[in-house]
Amino acid sequence: MRHTASFLKLPDLFTTIRLVLIPAVFWSIPVNSYLALSILSIVFITDIIDGYLARKLRISDRMFGKVYDHLVDKLLILTITYALNAYKDLPNWAYMFFLIREFLLIIGGVFIWLSTPAHVDGSNALGKAAGITFYAMVIAYIFEMPFRWHLLVLSIAMSSIAFAGYAYRELNKLKHTKKR
C-alpha cells in the first residue's frame, strides 16, 4: 500500500465531518428530537469509522489525527451538554461537571504532550464505556425519558472512573519517563 505524506488522512475526513456537524447538533436538540438523534447517530458512526480506519490503515499513531479526534470529541461533549442544559433540563451542576472534566482533560493532555511529545494515547475500554453511557444519557435527555436521571448518574460515575484511570495511566507513565 502506498502512503502519502499528506497532512490529512482518510480518518481525519470523518473527524472533519463530526466537526462540521457540531452546529447542527446544537441547533437540532431543541428543535426536533428525531433530527437530533439522526445527527448524533452520524456523529457516533463517523467516530467509530474514524477509529477503525486509523487502526486498519496503521496511522493511529499519528499525532495530528489523535489530537484532532480528541479535540473534536471535547467540542462535541461541550456543545451537547450546553444544549441539554439550556433546552432539556440537564442540571447546572451536571453541565459544570462535564465542562470541568473536559477542560481538565484538555489541560492534562497539553501537559502530557509537552512532557512526552512523541506519544499520545487513545481511549481505553473505560473511556469507551463512559462514552457509550454518555450518549445513552444524551438520548434520554433529548427524548425527556423518565429514567434520564439514572443515566446521568451512571454517565457521571463512568466518566469519573475513566478520568481517574486516564490520570493514573498518564501520571504513572510520566513517573517512569522521569526515572530514565
Q: Domain 10-179 adopts which CATH fold? A: Four Helix Bundle (Hemerythrin (Met), subunit A) (1.20.120)
Banded model confidence at residue 1, pLDDT cuts 50, 70, 90: very low
Closest to 84 measured CA to CA, from 128, 131, 130, 145: 145
User: Cα separations (Å) of 170 from 101, 105, 131?
Assistant: 16, 11, 19
Q: For residue 128, which amino acid is it?
A: K
- pLDDT tens digits for range 63-105: 677 788 889 999 999 999 999 999 999 999 999 999 999 999 8
Q: Grid coordinates in use for 145?
A: 425519558
Q: CB under 8 Å, gap of 24 or more: what pairs does 93-97 form?
A: 94/152, 94/156, 97/156, 97/159
pTM of the predicted protein model: 0.86
CB atoms within 10 A of CB 115: 12
CA separation for the pair 168, 164 (Å, rounded): 6
Please give the pLDDT value at position 60: 56
Question: For the segment 122-173, what is each residue's pLDDT rounded down to a tens digit?
Answer: 678 898 899 999 999 999 999 999 999 999 999 999 999 999 998 888 778 7
Quick count: other Cβ atoms within 10 Å of Cβ 133?
Answer: 20
The overall longest dimension of the chain from CA atoms, in Å, is 55
Cβ 66 vs Cβ 119: under 8 Å: no
